[in-house]
Amino acid sequence: VEIVPVSKDSVVCLPKKLTHQLGGLSPIALVYKTTSALHLIDVSTGQ
């Protein structure tokens, strides 16, 4: 499996199944912090 590098301020497109698991997050999100996990902001709500 090849994974594309993701950094701060990257725009990501999430699969529909994952958006439902994350509580209805928009499929388009902004990465605001990268650690051992990705921290995302929903671009439609700003949360």
| DSSP secondary structure letters along 10-45 | -EEE--HHHHHHTTS--SEEEEEEESSSEEEEETTT
Which residue type does 34 have?
Answer: T
Q: Domain residue spans in the chain?
A: 11-42
Half-sphere exposure of residue 3, counting CA atoms within 13 Å on the CB side?
4
Query: Which tokens sit at 18?
Result: 């994952």
> Is the full-model pTM beyond 0.95?
no
* pLDDT, tens digit (0-9, with 9 covering 90-100), for 1-47: 777 899 999 999 999 999 999 888 899 999 999 998 889 999 999 88
Q: How far apart are CA 13 and CA 4, in angstroms?
A: 12
pLDDT at 6: 92
41, 30 contact by CB (below 8 A): yes
